[in-house]
């Protein structure tokens, strides 16, 4: 069973957040949390908190399974562009330059290796028949 966590309207540009998201994509959850804890980049603390939320969502979905035995990993993480606040900044000779203050939406999906292995095995058996 996979679990999803979303974070909307983060006031950071999507380009900066994607750099941090690329660090943890495909990693095991424990390794990803360690990477994010010691990462100095701007969005690392927000993605760390979002990953903890996704783990909590997985625990709620799978009450009978234990987190230590589940072997969770970050199945996918993606960053989409959010709303853009447009501001004006004075420029020389009476002109104005537009300033775009960007935001983003982050989505994290975590899954267990055991569940994904079972799906892959059943798919290979169906393709052989």
Domain extents for the chain?
A: 3-128
Tell me which residue of 82, 79, 58, 64 sits closest to 1, measured CA to CA.
58
Q: pLDDT tens digit string along 53-105?
A: 999 999 999 888 888 888 899 999 999 999 999 999 999 999 999 999 999 99
Query: What is residue 1's predicted lDDT score, i.e. its pLDDT?
Result: 83
Written as one string, the DSSP assignment of 15-47 is HHHHHHHHHHTT-BHHHHHHHHHT--STTHHHH
pTM across the whole model: 0.84
The stretch 12-32 carries a mean pLDDT of 95
Q: pLDDT tens digit string along 98-124?
A: 999 999 999 999 999 876 666 666 565
CATH number, span 3-128 = 3.90.470.10
Query: What is residue 64's predicted lDDT score, i.e. its pLDDT?
Result: 84
């Amino acid at each position: 069973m996979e679990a999803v966590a979303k974070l909307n309207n983060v006031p950071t540009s999507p380009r900066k957040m994607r750099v941090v998201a690329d660090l943890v994509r495909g990693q095991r959850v424990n390794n990803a949390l360690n990477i994010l804890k010691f990462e100095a980049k701007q969005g690392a603390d927000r993605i760390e908190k979002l990953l903890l939320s996704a783990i909590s969502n997985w625990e709620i979905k799978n009450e009978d399974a234990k987190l230590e035995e589940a072997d969770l990993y970050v199945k996918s993480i993606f960053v989409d562009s959010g709303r853009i606040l447009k501001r004006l900044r004075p420029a020389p000779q009476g002109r104005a330059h537009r300033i775009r203050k960007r935001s983003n939406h982050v989505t994290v999906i975590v899954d267990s290796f055991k569940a994904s292995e079972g799906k892959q095995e059943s798919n290979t058996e169906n393709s052989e028949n």
